[in-house]
Structure 1
Amino acid sequence: MSVRTGLVAATAVALAAALAGPAVAAPAGAGHHGATRAAMDAAVKDGVPGVTATARDTGGTWSATAGVGDVRTLAPRGTADHYRVGSITKTFVSTVLLQLEAERRLSLDDKVEKWLPGVVRGHGHDGRRITVRQLLNHTSGIFNYTADDDFARTYFLKDGFLEHRYDTKTPEQLVAIAMTHEPLFAPGTSWSYSNTNYVLAGMVIEKVTGHSYAAEIRRRVIEPLGLRATSVPGTRTTLPRPSGHAYSKLSRATTGPTYDVTRLNPSLASSAGEMISDSADLNRFYSALLGGRLLPPKQLKEMKTTVKADEIPGARYGLGLIDRKLGCGVHVWGHDGGIHGSTSSAVTTADGRHSLAFNFNGDWSGDSDAVIEGEFCGK
C-alpha cells in the first residue's frame, strides 16, 4: 500500500485513469535500475500521464522518464522537470525548527501556546496542552483542515477548484478551519496525519525568527545546499521551466475527464505542502540531511525518533520524516507528497548514500511503492 501523505490524499479525492505515452530513459548508467524503470513504465500503463525520476548512489546518478508531460502535444516528461512536492515540504519545515532548537531559540517541548497564544483554541483544541514536537510527529490530535468538507469541495473538486484555484489563503485562515472541528484525540494519545500541524509549525518559525518560514528555508537549506530548482512559491501560480503539466480528475470518482491543474495558488497548502523542486535537488537535500550536514547529531536523532503511524502500514513517523521498511529489509527515510496533479516521493538510506526522488504528474493512479521497491530491492 502506498504511503500517501499529502493534501490530495487527506481529502479522499479519488484516483482514476489517464493517458499513457512513450517511455524515455537516460541511455547511460541504467545498470541495476532496471526494476525502477519497469515500475515507472507500469505506472504509465496504469494511467499516470508521466513519471520523472532520479536516483543517486555510489555508482553515480541515473535519471529516467516515462510517459508524457503534456497529454495534448504528447511531449515527454523531462528528467529536470520542476514539480510541486506537496508534503515533502514538511521535512524542510521540521529541519528549520530542529536547527532553531539546536540554537536554543526554542524547545520541542515548548507548548504551542507559548509561541502562538490563542491560535489553537476552539471546540476542545487547546494549544496549552500541545507541544511543538507533537505538531511535528502528528500526535497533537489537531483536526486536519484539508479534511473539512467545505474546504474539499472548494479546492479539490471540479466546480470549486475551477472557480477558486487562484484564491489566496492565509495560514491563520487554514488553522481557523481546523478549529471549527473537535480534536481527533487528546494530545499524545494517538497518531493522525494533519496538515494543520505543519501550518502551525510554519507560524512558529515566523514567531521565533521574525521571518517567514519560506525565508528561513531559503537561508538555512536552499542556499547552503545550492538547490537551484527548489523554491517556496507563496502565491505564485506557475511552475518554473522546465516542467510538465499536472493533471487531476477533480472528482471522487475513478472515471471521467482529466483536468489540467498545473496553475494554482499554493497558499492553500502553506507550510504543509507548497514547495516546488526537482528530483536531483530532493536527492541532494535528503542525502545532506541524513548524512548529518544540516543538523547536529542530537537533533538528527530526534528527527529519526519515530512513533507508530497506523494510517501508513509498514512505516513509522519521526519529525517530518518517514521510516519505511521495504520488502527486502532495507530501511529508507524520506517523505511523500501529494497536491493537485502531483504525487511525489523522496527517500534515502540511513547513511544518505543511496537516494531516489520521483514524481507522477497525476494524482489518481500509479504505485509509488513499486518504484521505491524497484530501486532499493530490485536488480
Structure 2
Amino acid sequence: AQTVFPATRQAMMSSLASKPLLFSPGTAIRYTQTNYVVLTALLEAHYGKPYPQIVQQRIFEKLKMKHTWLGLAALPEKRVAKAYSGSNGQLKKLDDALWPAYGYGHTGLHSTVEDLTLFMQAMSRGELVGKASLQGFWQPQHLANGERIWPATGWDLGESGSYSEVGHDGGTHVRLRILFNGTLDGDVYTIAYLTNGSARNVWSGTLVDSVMARIAPEKFPAEAAAESLRAFAFATPKDDTATAAEVRSV
C-alpha cells in the first residue's frame, strides 16, 4: 500500500509540533528526512521561488544536466527503468512512492548515470561549493559522548586507506561517491552507480566497492581483497583453484 503523507509542508510540521523528542540533541542519531524539508523551506524563503525552480536554474541548467527531473509530473515515462527488490532470489517490482512536492529536497529525483556524473564531478571541482568549504563540511562528526557518527552535513563520510570518501546511497539501487587523497586538488575519483535491483538485494555500497577494486586495486587494497573473497565465495567448482591462488596473492 502507498504511504499517505500530510498534504502540505505546514500540515507535516503541525503533525510533529506536539511530538516529544526521541532523544536530547547531540546524544544520538537517526536516519530521517525532516531536516531536508526544513532546509528546502529555508532555500525557498531565501530565493523567493519554489525548490524545483531553484535546482533547475542553479544546478541542472548550469551543469547541462538535460536528463534529470524532480517528481513524476515532468518525467518522460518511456525513459524510466522499473525498480525491483530481491526476495528469496526472486525479483519483485517496486512502485515509486508518490512523494509530495515539499519533500523534493530529499527525494523524487530521477536522473541518468551521465547526469549524476556531471553533478559529482562539479562538486569535486568546487564548481557548486568552494573546495575549502567542502573540505570543512566533510569532517568527522561526533556525538556529545565522543562517539563518531557517519554523516557529515548530509553526506556519508568514511575512509579507504589514505582516501576520504563522501557520498550517499539509495539502498540497493544507487550510490554516489567521491574519493580524494588528502585534498580535492589531489587524486580524485568520482563514481556514480545505478541499478534497478538484483535478486540478491546486493547493497549499493558493495557494488561501488567492487568498482574501486577494479579501477585502482593498488590504491584501494581493502576493497580489492574483499572483491577477491567474493569471487572465491561465488566461484563454481572448476574455478576454485584459480580463484584460491588469486586470493592468496592479495
Match of 2:211 in 1: 375
Label 1:240 to 1:336 Cα distance change in 2 as closer, same or farther (>3 A).
same
Q: Is the 8 A contact 1:315 1:325 kept in 2?
A: no
Q: State percent identity of aligned pairs.
A: 19
Write the letter of the residue equivalent to 1:207: A
Q: For 2:166 and 2:207, how far apart are their aligned partners in 1?
A: 15
- Describe how 1:7-156 pairs up with structure 2 within 5 A: none
Q: Is the 8 A contact 1:230 1:277 kept in 2?
A: yes
SS in 2 for 1:361: coil
Match of 1:293 in 2: 127
User: Are positions 1:221 and 2:54 aligned together?
Assistant: no
Match of 1:349 in 2: 179
Question: Could you say which structure has the larger radius of gyration?
Answer: 2
Q: Is the 8 A contact 1:229 1:281 kept in 2?
A: yes
- Provide Cα deviations, 1:202-260, integer angstroms capped at 9, x if missing partner: 01111122111221111111111111112222x528555423212358xxx86998344
Write the letter of the residue equivalent to 2:168: H
Uncovered stretches (5+) of structure 1, i.e. residues with no partner: 1-159
User: Are positions 1:361 and 2:196 aligned together?
Assistant: yes
- Describe how 1:194-209 pairs up with structure 2 within 5 A: 194-209=32-47
Q: Is the 8 A contact 1:266 1:274 kept in 2?
A: yes
Label 1:257 to 1:354 Cα distance change in 2 as closer, same or farther (>3 A).
closer
- Describe how 1:309-324 pairs up with structure 2 within 5 A: 316-324=150-158
Match of 1:247 in 2: 84
Q: For 2:83 and 2:76, how far apart are their aligned partners in 1?
A: 10
Write the letter of the residue equivalent to 1:231: W
Write the letter of the residue equivalent to 1:369: G
TM-score by length of 2: 0.67
- Describe how 1:156-167 pairs up with structure 2 within 5 A: 160-161=1-2
Label 1:276 to 1:176 Cα distance change in 2 as closer, same or farther (>3 A).
farther
Q: For 2:76 and 2:140, how far apart are their aligned partners in 1?
A: 34
Q: For 1:266 and 1:227, how far apart are their aligned partners in 2?
A: 22
Return the match for 1:276 from 107, 110, 126. Answer: 110
Match of 2:248 in 1: none
Q: Is the 8 A contact 1:225 1:285 kept in 2?
A: yes
Between the two proteins, the alignment pairs up a number of residues equal to 205
- Once the two structures are TM-superposed, the CA of residue 175 in structure 1 deviates from its matched residue by 3.4
Label 1:260 to 1:237 Cα distance change in 2 as closer, same or farther (>3 A).
farther
Label 1:188 to 1:314 Cα distance change in 2 as closer, same or farther (>3 A).
closer
Write the letter of the residue equivalent to 1:349: L
Q: Is the 8 A contact 1:198 1:271 kept in 2?
A: yes
Match of 1:333 in 2: 166
Q: Is the 8 A contact 2:6 2:12 kept in 1?
A: no
Q: For 2:204 and 2:213, how far apart are their aligned partners in 1?
A: 14
Match of 1:174 in 2: 12
Uncovered stretches (5+) of structure 2, i.e. residues with no partner: 218-250
